[in-house]
A and B are shown apart, each in its own frame.
Chain A
Amino acid sequence: MPDPATAAIEHFARYNIDSAMMSSLLSVALSHGGDFAELFFEHRTSNAIAWEDQQVKSAARNVARGLGIRVVKGDAIGFAYTESLDPAAMRRAAETASRISSDAERPVAIDATPEFRGTSFYSNDDPAASRPPADKVAILERADRAARAYDPSIVHVEGNFGDEMKHVLIARSDGRVSGDVQPMLRFAVVATSQKDGTNRLARKSGAGRLGLEYFDGIPPEEIAREAARMAILQHQAVEAPAGTMPVVLAAGESGILIHEAVGHGLEGDFNRKGTSNYSGRVGESVASPLVTVVDDATIPNSRGSINVDDEGNFTGRNVLIEGGTLLGYLHDEMSARYFGVAPSGSGRRETFKSYTMPRMSNTFMLAGQSNPEDILRSVGRGIFCAAYSGGQVNISNGDFVFSVSEAYLIEDGHITAPLRNVTLIGNGPDVLSKVTMVGNDYRLSTGTWTCGKDSQSVPVGVGMPTVLVSGITVGGTKVG
């Protein structure tokens, strides 16, 4: 098995994409000048099997391939893409992108020797995309049986098995070429519990950049039983209190709060434009001294990991906030150039049809010293948030909201009644300043997290230890 960069080069060689072709297209892209140009070739095959009523409901396969061409001139970009890898179509796209600039031609010559860092953060030895559908159907069957066996109230089970294999090849006008082969596996179960004529649904998902060995670590039965448990729990859930109170964020999934409330505000593009609440604050204290936040694209097999970003830069581990002090931002080429720093390997795009922006990979808060049980015991009355169905942030001022799909009341240091319809609302910097205890139980969530920005979705990971925030507004329905 060749390294992924070489594998990507070989993959696209089938379409007659070689050094000469890439040099010629980049020269067309810079035929009116410009600071920088890049070619992004992508070939993506996705498979999905939908399960319902104890059988396969439908099967799907989508194949997409194409080339995105970007020309950078100062702070501006020209961008075009083509779904056809026909030389004339690619040339037309390069001409279109070139129009952002109106200077003299800059010929480009590149040597398509790919850069490779010597290690890959995911395994392509036995990708799910190459396995026969029957193997995937067997996983869905196991999940279905487990959810139904969990409780007689489970009346409806849906499952989804998805896998994807993505080859990317990036050629830059500075002569650098890199590539990657990126696998993805996604699995989800939705269980419906019916009691006294009312239905409650819950969804549990898992994902990673690996093959079916994913289920050696997390069996489908475990995911299915979680969905069933969370659906049943909702029947007993009571109205949530409304107002500001202490909130304990459970380890793992609560990392979504770090992603939304802090991570987006640290993306280089917003800071370059001065439109983030963290703009111009590097070196300042922006959080409680207990808070250290890291973005790390190199966690083996994690959903948010990538070997190389979509501009061809190696990815890494970037410490964003250390002991409450802001150290830096996440950069793509444009923001790195603006700030005069090295790119952090954070330039990402959804597909060849979209342009790159600074994006997160796996973003998390590091462990602290506290015993998680002591954290709970310290709360007289508050809520405990265990699972989330989504969140959103206003990047320019840090205001955020999260929908909590599993939450409990804390009374006298103990978890008591499950709560329904809980929303957390607050402000990122404000909440980070109110972090008063951080657990020693850091966990990376195994969920299928997808980050949206400017209508572009990319897979990400989140993680966190158990954390106490002394006050967050809880959007419940029960007043007083």
Chain B
Amino acid sequence: MAEPDLALATTVVELARRAGAGQCDVIIRESLESKVQVRLGEVEQLIESGSRSLGLRVITDGRTAVCSTADLDPAALARFARETVDLAAISAPDECAGLPAASETPVPLRDGLQLYDESLANLSVEEKVHLAVTCEAAARGADARITNSGGASFSTRIAEVSLANSNGFAGRYPATAVGLGVEVMADDSDGKKRTGGWSSSERSLHRLLDAEEIGRIAARRAVMQLGARKVGTKAVPVVFEPVMAVALMANLLESATGSALYRGATFLAGRVGERVGSSLLNIIDDPLLPGRLGSRPFDGEGVGVHRTALIEDGIFGGFLFDVYTGRRTGNRTTGSAVRGVESLPAPGPSNLIFEAGSTDPAAIIAGVEDGLYLTTLFGFGFNPATGDFSRGAAGYWIEHGELAYPVTEINVSGRLETMFAGIDAVGNDLTWFGSAAAPTIRVREMTVSGL
């Protein structure tokens, strides 16, 4: 029987200390993963595997190194610890580098976060295949115009994260994830294929969207794009469906971390406490919501976590920090360190919530005379330093308050701050997508480029 992960993490902390590490922390990630992919009703892929790997961060006199290995043999680990300690010597001293103070890591291990679904371990291959087949069949059967399928897949991950550091912190938590998704196609009259995809990811099976429902949504999204055309170039109101509002929040986060702040790479620098959007705008980072994908009892450095208001009634509340970026900018960690086995911690979101408003989504559309209902964004056109936003898009044109026809091959652009200031309606339809949630929102004016 191999040493349990948390005990092993503590052992490696001690090995590094003995090799000369000033401070150090060790993260171990162990997971069992499975994926079933089906296409046209037949199994296309069965994937099943386990992995266990370890990351060690050493900080000696402010000099930092981070190394990872999957060779967890005791002799190999002793050598690995020595090599990591030696590697730190090539770094320059940085007074901001260091572990969290012991007072920042109270970690009363919280119950009730519901991060683990025991039922996933007992799912048979047949049950997984059945869910994927059901989902795909629902998508293909939802409309006669669906002509092809990219397949449906069902995946599970059963994982455990263990973290220990030389200040005496030691914590672990098991966590699961489960996902189901499908993509189907319809043929347009001009020969173009219109794709529609939908998926659901959660920590537990019972929260997952119904397989047939996922299929029907995917089919609807493909069929509704039939006959899509370009539109002329103009400045118009843009309605973001909930999943698009989530995409907008993800762009905001690139500008709202301590990393962007200390690098001078954010348009939000110096704006804490100032108005950065309409008073309808409220964005929250909340790691303590039971059962959500972004929830965690402590962050990637073992710091206790809490709810943070990023934007409240349009006022910017502040950045997300890990220990380093907090110290570097004269702030404190917000418990937002995200940490992979191979890399240094960096601040990032947990669960992001664009808080719901009071308007019915239908009323938000009804309030648009001539504008865009956005259902697809693609490309990476966001500059966190300036807030410039310019991304490829597709959706429906709104005429006289109603969805009139599908549009494609267009681009939407603006400045994030101007867009936020122009949010003039927020829906009451808060919808979750993995670790983020948002309602329908409307931005008063953006540039739509087309013909």
Contacts and interface: CB of A to CB of B under 8 A. Distances in A.
B64 A275 contact: no
A158 interface: yes
A56 interface: yes
B390 A423 contact: yes
A138 B412 CA distance: 44
Nearest to A274: B148
Contacts of B383: 421
B144 interface: no
Counting chain B CB atoms within 10 Å of each CB, the highest count among A82, A134, A397 belongs to A397
Interface in B41-62: 42-53
Contact of B49 (A81, A392, A479): A81
Interface stretch (A61-69, A219-227, A295-303): A61-69
A63 B379 CA distance: 32
A427 B188 CA distance: 15
Nearest to A200: B385
Interface string A61-81: 111111000000001111111
A421 B413 contact: yes
B392 A475 contact: yes
B450 interface: yes
Contacts of B125: 99
Interface in A40-63: 49, 53, 55-63
B193 A82 contact: no
Contacts of B344: 58, 60
Nearest to B270: A197
A199 B385 contact: yes
B15 to A, nearest CB: 16
Given A399-B392, A423-B379, A473 B411 contact: yes
A397 B379 CA distance: 15
B235 A479 contact: yes
A421 B413 CA distance: 8
B65 A58 contact: yes
Interface residues of B, number: 72
A56 B88 CA distance: 10
Mostly, the A contact residues are: strand
Nearest to B388: A421
A156 B48 CA distance: 45
A156 B264 contact: yes
A20 interface: no
Given A75-B44, A355-B45, A473 B410 contact: yes
A425 B42 contact: no
A456 interface: no
B42 to A, nearest CB: 7
Contact of A425 (B192, B343, B449): B449
Contact of A242 (B45, B194, B447): B447
A477 interface: yes
A96 B49 contact: yes
Interface in A426-440: 426-427
A476 interface: yes
Contacts of A133: 87, 90
B411 A96 contact: no
Nearest to B51: A83
A109 interface: no
B143 interface: no
Nearest to A71: B46
B233 A242 contact: yes
A76 B44 contact: yes
Contact of A100 (B43, B66, B269): B43
A14 interface: no
B343 A60 contact: yes
B449 A275 contact: no
Interface residues of A, number: 77
A232 interface: no
Interface string B223-238: 0000000100111000
A422 interface: yes
A174 B2 CA distance: 37
A401 B391 contact: yes
A192 B383 CA distance: 13
B216 interface: no
Contact of A474 (B68, B194, B449): B449
Interface in A284-333: none
Given A58-B64, A275-B185, A475-B413, A423 B70 contact: no
B67 A82 contact: no
A427 B409 contact: yes
Given A76-B45, A83-B70, A199-B265, A423 B411 contact: yes
A65 B70 contact: yes
B392 A392 contact: yes
Contacts of B379: 390-392, 401-403, 423, 425
B441 to A, nearest CB: 20
B92 interface: yes
Nearest to B33: A353
A426 B449 contact: no
Contacts of A155: 264
B195 interface: yes
B94 interface: yes
Interface string B375-392: 000111101011011111
A370 interface: no
A378 interface: no
B401 interface: no
A155 B43 CA distance: 56
Max chain A Cβ within 10 angstroms of own Cβ: one of B234, B344, B385: B385
Interface in A109-160: 133-134, 137, 155-156, 158
Pick the 8 closest A-B CB pairs, nearest first: A475-B411, A401-B392, A401-B379, A55-B92, A242-B449, A83-B70, A243-B233, A421-B388
Given A49-B90, A403-B390, A473-B409, 16 more contacts: A59-B66, A61-B68, A61-B84, A79-B48, A80-B47, A80-B48, A96-B48, A392-B378, A392-B392, A396-B150, A400-B392, A421-B383, A474-B449, A475-B447, A476-B390, A479-B234
Interface of B: 39, 42-53, 64-71, 83-84, 87-88, 90-92, 94, 125, 148, 150, 185, 192-195, 230, 233-235, 263-265, 269, 342-344, 378-381, 383, 385-386, 388-392, 394, 408-414, 447, 449-451
5 contacts: A49-B90, A53-B94, A75-B42, A76-B42, A392-B378
Interface of A: 49, 53, 55-66, 75-84, 93, 96, 99-100, 133-134, 137, 155-156, 158, 192, 194, 198-201, 234, 242-244, 273-275, 277, 353, 355, 389-392, 394, 396-403, 420-423, 425-427, 473-479
